[in-house]
Amino acid sequence: MKTIAYVALMLAISPMAIASCLSALDSASLKQRLDNTGEMAYANVNVSFQCSAATAPYQKLIYANPKLKSLHVLNNRAVIYGYENATKTEVADSPAAIRATLKQQGDAAARCTSAECVCSAYSQSIDDMGGANFGRY
């Protein structure tokens, strides 16, 4: 069932080769993919930090842009999925275990200082988690 959820997750973003990452993001598609992955397997995997605790530039950018916030959640779900597949171990369905795993894996956008960088970093991260079977979206 998690595989099906991940397929939906991987299809969340339209091709971005021609347009900028942010302009290529479709809000309706992002919402649909969040709904699908949340219902199927990853409902407890959400934003990895509190808005009030956002201190890094990329964190502030995420909370200032609803598309980036959705993309951040999709990335977190992809990271948990990738971790589970790599280790053949499910992450406990608790906020503490999820946060610990996300922290251990690092945030792909942590060095970004622009919204476009955050979008591109998360798009690449999600693409990497999906492997060649999902292609570039």
Residues 94 and 81: their CA atoms lie apart, in Å, by: 15
Is 137 a member of any domain?
no
DSSP state letter for 53: G
Q: Which two tokens stand for residue 132?
A: 């060649």
Element (H, E) at 101: helix 95-105
Q: Is residue 53 part of a domain?
A: yes
Number of structural domains (the chain) is 1
Does some domain include residue 48? Answer: yes
Is residue 102 in some structural domain?
A: yes
pTM: 0.77
CA distance 110 to 108: 6
Is position 38 within any domain? Answer: yes
Tell me whether residue 49 is exposed, middle or buried, using C-beta atoms within 10 angstroms of its C-beta: 0 to 12, 13 to 18, 19 or more. Answer: middle
Q: Is residue 36 part of a domain?
A: yes
Range of the domain at 96: 2-130
Is residue 30 within 8 A of residue 70, CB to CB? The reply is yes
The list of the chain residues with pLDDT below 70 reads 1-19, 38-40, 130-137
Distance CA 33, CA 5 (A): 9
Is residue 76 in a domain? Answer: yes
Q: Is residue 49 part of a domain?
A: yes
Task: Write down the pLDDT at residue 133.
Answer: 32
Given a contact cutoff of 8 angstroms between Cβ atoms, the answer to whether 8 and 134 are in contact is: no
pLDDT at 33: 76
